[in-house]
Amino acid sequence: YMKSLHLPADKVKDFNYGNIPGDDNPGDYRKPGVEWQPLEYANNVFTLSNPNKVAWYFDARTSNYYQWDGNKWNKVPDSKVKEVLDNKAYIDMPNLHYTTFLNPRNIFFGIKFNFDL
């Protein structure tokens, strides 16, 4: 989950993985019903070996997103990128939603009286 967030660059400068810069904070989540679109970080997409066909790769050199079609790299249209970023479709939510949110939970309060005669 945390690796999928686009955290501000100054907050992740000491992390050991590439980060796509953004303004996310821990606690941000993908809304229910929004399909997940994996976004991966790459220093240079043109030097990657064995890229995934589903993921979009953020090229750190150009700040553009590319997708591998099996033969060549294609730049993802800006309108699609904007839609994915606006909907936070890139956030990899845990599969068990009942562990992520408190709903539905039942909390009961009670009072018990014992009388010994």
Select the more confidently predicted residue: 18 or 110: 110
Percent of the chain having pLDDT more than 70? Answer: 86
What digits encode the pLDDT tens for the residues 41-59?
999 999 998 898 999 999 9
pLDDT value at 79 more than 90: yes
**b (16+ CB within 10 A) / e for 14-51:** eeeeebbbeebeeeebbeeebeebebbbbeebeebeeb
pLDDT value at 81 more than 90: yes
Alpha carbon distance 24, 22 (integer Å): 6
The pLDDT value recorded for residue 89 is 92
- pLDDT band of residue 85 (cuts 50, 70, 90) is very high
pLDDT value at 65 more than 90: yes
